[in-house]
Structure 1
Amino acid sequence: MTKFSDLNLDPKVLQAVAETGYDTPTPIQAGAIAPALEGRDVLGIAQTGTGKTAAFTLPMITLLGRGRARARMPRSLVLAPTRELAAQVAENFDTYAKYTKLTKALLIGGTSFKDQDKLIDKGVDVLIATPGRLLDHLERGKLILTDVKIMVVDEADRMLDMGFIPDIEEIFKRTPFTRQTLFFSATMAPEIERITNTFLSNPAKVEVARAATTNVNIKQGVVMFRASAKPREATEKRALLRALISAEGDACSNAIIFCNRKADVDVVAKSLNKYGYDAAPIHGDLDQSHRTRTLESFRDNKLRFLVASDVAARGLDIPAVTHVFNFDVPSHAEDYVHRIGRTGRAGRSGVAIMICSGRDEKNLEDVERLVQNPIPRLDNPLGVTAPQPAEEASTTDAAPKRSRSRSRRGAAKDMPAANTPAPVAEQDVQSPEAVATAPTPATQKAAEKAPDQVADKAADKAAPRPARQPRETAKPARDDQPARPRYQDRRDNGPRIIGMGDDTPSFIAKSFEERAKG
C-alpha cells in the first residue's frame, strides 16, 4: 500500500501531513501527486469527498519550495467556483504549508479590494480566487499572470453549471503557455472535455471512480410526497421533513438540508427553529461574514442543522456530517452527487434522504439515469394525507354553494338563488306547451290590477315581430347643415375619376382601338 512518504514530497510537507493524522493517500491523491511532481498536466476525475484538494495542494507546495514571488505576479493560481470552496482551499494550504515560507492571497467577493491589493502588492506564491473577483483585479490592472507556473481548476463541472466557462477561458489566455495545469472535476461533461483538449497538453488522466457515481458508504432513499391540497403543499412538506429528522433519532447528530431556491432556504430554517430544531440558513444572498460564521458554527458542532442552497453543495469538507436531506430534488442531476457527498466522507458512513413531490418526478428520473441505479423508495412517516377523489366529489356535492346577495342590508342572504329551479312534484309535471302558456305568479298578480294591460302585452308577444330595419348610415340633417353620410372622407379630392382618366397608357388605348376596328 502506498504511503505519503513514498510520493517524493518535501519533508516539511510530510511533517505537516503527519500532524493531520493521515499517512495513507486516497486513490485520487496517489494517482495525481506523482505525475504532478514530474511537471505533467493532470486531469483528475473523482467523486466528491475523495481528497481532491490535497491531491493538488501537496505537490504544488513541494514544487514552489524553490523561488520567490514578485509583486503583483503570483507564481501559482487556484480557481474555485464558490467563496466557501476557495476559503477551504486556503485553509488546506495553511495546514500543509505551515513549515514553509510560502505566502498566499485569497481573492473572493464580499471582502475589501483594499486589503486584497495590499497582499498582491507584497507578492504571493499562491493565489486562490473565484473567477469573478480575479477578473475584477485583472481589469483594474492590479494583477499580472505571466509568471504563473502552476494553474489549478477545482470543481470544473460546477464552474460549467455556474456559467464560469467563458471566464475560465479568458483567464487561461492570460497565463503563459508553458504553465502546468491541474484540472479536477467530479463529472466529465462535453464542454469540460472540450476545455481540457484545448488547454491541457498530454495530461495524465487519473480516474478513480466512474463519473457521477455516488459513495457506496452513503445509504440513500427517497420519499414520494403528495399534498392533501395545493395550498397546503409547502406546510405539509416541511412537516414531512421534521418527521424524517425525528425518525432518524440520535443517529442524526447533524445534517445539511438542501433546497433549490434561496427563498425556501430561509423559510425552512425559520420553520425548523420554530419547532425546536437548531438550524441556520446559508445562501448566496447572505453577507460573506455571516456565511463564514454560520459554517464555523456548524463545523464546531455548535449548530445542528445547516439549511443551504447549492452554494454549499460543492467542496465543503466537514467530515462529521451524518445526514443530508434533499428538501427538493435538484434541478441538475449532477448536483445530487455533490449534495450527498457532504456525508460519508473520509471512509465514514452517511445517510441521504430526499423528498420528491409530483413536479419533481422528472428530475428524479434524471438523477437515477445519471447514477445508473434506482434510489430506494421510503415510506412516508406521516402516512397518506391526501383525500381520495371520491371523497372530494361527495364533499362537493353535499354542500352546494349559496348565491351571494348584492343587497347592502343582507336581507336576502339566505334566499335561494334566482336561477335555481324549485323542486317539482311528480304529479305537477306538465307538457312543454302547457308550461310555455302557463302564467307566471308575477303575470297573475299584474293581471288582477290591470287585466287590459296584461292582455295587450300578451298579444304583443304572440304577434310576429317586424323585420329588423337596416341601420341608417346618415344622421338627420339639421336646418342649417345638409346631411352627411357616416365615415365619409371629408377631404376634397377633386372630381371622381373613372378608370385611368387621362393617364391611360398608349399601348392599352391602342389595343382597344384595334379591337373596335376588328
Structure 2
Amino acid sequence: MHRINLIELPMAFTDFGLSERLLKAVDALQFTQPTEVQLQAIPAALAGDDLCVTAQTGSGKTAAFLLPLLQRLQAEDKPQAATRALILLPTRELAQQTLREFSRFARFTFLKAELVTGGEGFKEQAAYLRKNPEVVIGTPGRLLEHLEAGSLLLDDVEVLVLDEADRMLDMGFAEDVLKLVAPCNKERQTLLFSATVGGAAMGRVIDQVLREPKFLRLHSVRELNPEVVQQIITSDDVAHKERQLQWLLAHEQFTKAMVFTNTRAQADRLGGVLRACKHKVYVLHGEKQHDERKEIMARFKRGEFSVLVATDVAARGLDVAELELVINFDMAHSGDEYVHRIGRTGRAGAGGLVISLICPNDWNLMSSIERYLKLRFEKRQIKELAGSYQGPKKLKASGKAVGKKKKKDKDGKKDSGKSASKTGKKPAAKRPAKPRGNDVPATVGSADGFAPPRRKPKPQE
C-alpha cells in the first residue's frame, strides 16, 4: 500500500499548483487549510495517478477529486470532445450535492456539468447531453439507460470518478458500473473514493477498473471522529424507546437532529408519534417522491424544522450544517451503515452526539458493531425512564454443580458399557426375543421367512 509522508506535503491550497481561476474560487469559499484527504489525494491526482482512497464521510473528499479534475480539464480546451469526465455516485441526493460543489469550484472557469439521475425527464436529459457538457454527474442506473440509448458517449472520458464506491456496490450497482466503464477511454485516469475498505465486489472493481492504483487509507472505518460522543441507552421495548426518544428531544441541546429507523413503516409511525408531541418533524425514506425528498432536505438545511426521521436512504451523501444529534431508534444492520449514519454529525472535525436505543433484540447487533469498530459505547441511563432491561445477564455455573453433573453422567446408564469394561466382565449377550401371540419364527434357510415347500414323495416301484 502506497503511503505519503505528510511532512513533505504542501500545507495550503496555493502550494498545489492550481490555476488562478481555481484558487480564486477556493479563496471565495474561504477554504484556507486543506484537510488530510485533500493533502494526500490532490497531489497524487494532479500527477495523473489512479487512486483508491478510503476516507471518512465529511472529510472533504469531494474537493479532493473535483479540484484535480477541473485542473486537468481546463488545461486544454476540447470543444469537439464528448463527455470528458464521468462522476458516478450511488444516490440522487449525493449527485445533486456533488453538482453544487462542482458549480462552486468551477464558477470562474468555462467548464459545464450536467446531472443525470432517475426521477428526472429522460428526453430532457438526452437534450442536455447532446450539448456535450465536459462533466457528467449521475447514478449508474440512469446513466446506463442513456448509454444504451446512444445519448451518452464515453469514448473521450479522461477522468472517471467513483465516489461512495462501497455504498454503490452494496446497492447492487457493480455490474452497471462495469458496463459504464467498458466504453470509456482506456487511457483515462480513475479516482475511487470510499468510506470503507469494502469486500469482494470492491476488489473486483479495483482489479478491473483501476490501473496500478495508489492506495491512500487515511481513515479506516474504525477511525471515527473523536469529537463525536457515542452512547447507548437500554430500552425494554419499542414503546419504551418512543418515550425515551421524546425525552431526549425535549432535553438535549441541538439545532438539528436526525432519527434513524430500519424500515419505512417505522419511520412513518415515529413521525406521527413525534408530531403528536408537538415536535415539528418530517420523514424521509425511499417511498417519497424525488421532488418531495428534495424539498424536505432543502427545508431541513434552511432550519425550517429541527427533527428529521429517516431510513438509511438519508445515511449517505447529505451534508447538513449544524447537525449536532443523531439518534438510532433502530440499530444499524452493520458497522459500515452505523459509520455512515453517524457521519451526518461531526462533519469537518466538528463535535456531535450519537445515541443508540438498545432493546433486547438489538444487543447482539450492537455488540458486533462494537467489535467491528474496536470500541466500547458509553452506557447512559435516563433516570426518569429507567427500565428493567440493562443488558444480558451473565450465567455462570458453580464448580460444585458441574462436579455433581459429571458424577451423575459417570454412574448413569449412558456409561454402563464403560463401567463394565472397568470390572473386566463382558457384557451379557442379548437373547433372541421369544415369539409372542401369533408371531411365527422364520425357518432357517428360508429367504423370505416362510418354510420351504415339502417335496412330494416318489411312488414306490
- Matched ranges for 1:374-389 at <5 A: 374-385=376-387
Q: Which amino acid aligns with 1:338?
A: H
Deviations 1:290-314 (A, max 9, x none): 1111111111111211111111111
Structure 1: distance between partners of 2:244 and 2:113: 46
2:345–2:352 contact (8 Å) kept in structure 1? yes
User: Is the counterpart of residue 243 in structure 1 residue 247 in structure 2?
Assistant: yes
Structure 1: distance between partners of 2:329 and 2:19: 45
Which residue number in structure 2 is paired with residue 199 of structure 1? 209
1:243–1:381 contact (8 Å) kept in structure 2? no
Alignment partner of 2:90 out of 71, 81, 86 = 81
Measured after TM superposition, the shift of residue 237 of structure 1 is 2.0
Which residue number in structure 1 is paired with residue 172 of structure 2? 163
Measured after TM superposition, the shift of residue 165 of structure 1 is 1.3
- Matched ranges for 1:363-382 at <5 A: 363-382=365-384
1:47–1:212 contact (8 Å) kept in structure 2? no
Report the 3-state secondary structure (helix = DSSP H, G, I; strand = E; otherwise coil) of the residue aligned with 1:122.
coil
**Cα distance change on mapping 1:381 and 1:89 into 2, 3 Å:** farther
Which residue number in structure 2 is paired with residue 45 of structure 1? 54
Report the 3-state secondary structure (helix = DSSP H, G, I; strand = E; otherwise coil) of the residue aligned with 1:346.
helix
User: Is the counterpart of residue 129 in structure 1 residue 142 in structure 2?
Assistant: no
User: Is the counterpart of residue 347 in structure 1 residue 349 in structure 2?
Assistant: yes
Alignment partner of 1:108 out of 117, 127, 136 = 117
2:221–2:336 contact (8 Å) kept in structure 1? no
Measured after TM superposition, the shift of residue 68 of structure 1 is 2.9
Which residue number in structure 2 is paired with residue 68 of structure 1? 78
Structure 2: distance between partners of 1:184 and 1:263: 32
Structure 2: distance between partners of 1:137 and 1:381: 57
**Cα distance change on mapping 1:382 and 1:159 into 2, 3 Å:** farther
Structure 2: distance between partners of 1:81 and 1:335: 14
- Matched ranges for 1:153-192 at <5 A: 153-191=162-200, 192=202
1:333–1:363 contact (8 Å) kept in structure 2? no
User: Is the counterpart of residue 323 in structure 1 residue 325 in structure 2?
Assistant: yes
Task: Give me the CA root mean square deviation.
Answer: 2.1
- Matched ranges for 1:116-515 at <5 A: 116-191=125-200, 192-227=202-237, 233=238, 235-248=239-252, 251-385=253-387
Measured after TM superposition, the shift of residue 225 of structure 1 is 1.1
Q: Which amino acid aligns with 2:250?
A: S
Q: Which amino acid aligns with 1:354?
A: S
1:70–1:122 contact (8 Å) kept in structure 2? no
Deviations 1:227-276 (A, max 9, x none): 3xxxxx3x33222111122231xx21111111111111122122212211
Structure 2: distance between partners of 1:170 and 1:356: 42
2:197–2:220 contact (8 Å) kept in structure 1? no
2:231–2:356 contact (8 Å) kept in structure 1? yes
Q: Which amino acid aligns with 1:122?
A: K
**Cα distance change on mapping 1:287 and 1:108 into 2, 3 Å:** same
**Cα distance change on mapping 1:266 and 1:93 into 2, 3 Å:** same
**Cα distance change on mapping 1:211 and 1:385 into 2, 3 Å:** closer
Structure 2: distance between partners of 1:362 and 1:164: 30
Structure 1: distance between partners of 2:382 and 2:175: 44
Report the 3-state secondary structure (helix = DSSP H, G, I; strand = E; otherwise coil) of the residue aligned with 2:179.
helix
**Cα distance change on mapping 1:160 and 1:362 into 2, 3 Å:** farther
Which residue number in structure 2 is paired with residue 32 of structure 1? 41
Structure 1: distance between partners of 2:302 and 2:264: 24
- Using the size of structure 2 for normalisation, the TM-score is 0.80
Structure 1: distance between partners of 2:273 and 2:78: 53
1:47–1:209 contact (8 Å) kept in structure 2? yes
Structure 2: distance between partners of 1:239 and 1:290: 29
Measured after TM superposition, the shift of residue 11 of structure 1 is 1.2
1:150–1:180 contact (8 Å) kept in structure 2? yes
Measured after TM superposition, the shift of residue 315 of structure 1 is 2.2
Structure 1: distance between partners of 2:358 and 2:172: 27
2:225–2:349 contact (8 Å) kept in structure 1? no
Deviations 1:121-170 (A, max 9, x none): 11111100001111111122211111111000001111122111121122
Report the 3-state secondary structure (helix = DSSP H, G, I; strand = E; otherwise coil) of the residue aligned with 1:322.
strand
Deviations 1:8-66 (A, max 9, x none): 11211111111111111100011011111111111111111101111101111111102
Q: Which amino acid aligns with 2:333?
A: S
2:83–2:157 contact (8 Å) kept in structure 1? yes
**Cα distance change on mapping 1:340 and 1:59 into 2, 3 Å:** same
2:234–2:387 contact (8 Å) kept in structure 1? no
Q: Which amino acid aligns with 2:320?
A: I
Aligned-residue sequence identity (percent) comes to: 36
Q: Which amino acid aligns with 2:287?
A: D
Q: Which segments of 5 or more consecutive residues in structure 2 lack a partner in the other structure?
A: 1-9, 390-454, 456-461
Deviations 1:278-329 (A, max 9, x none): 1111111111111111111111111211111111111211232111111110
Aligned residue-pair number: 383
2:52–2:192 contact (8 Å) kept in structure 1? yes
1:29–1:52 contact (8 Å) kept in structure 2? yes
Deviations 1:462-492 (A, max 9, x none): xxxxxxxxxxxxxxxxxxxxxxxxxxxxxxx
Q: Which amino acid aligns with 1:2?
A: M
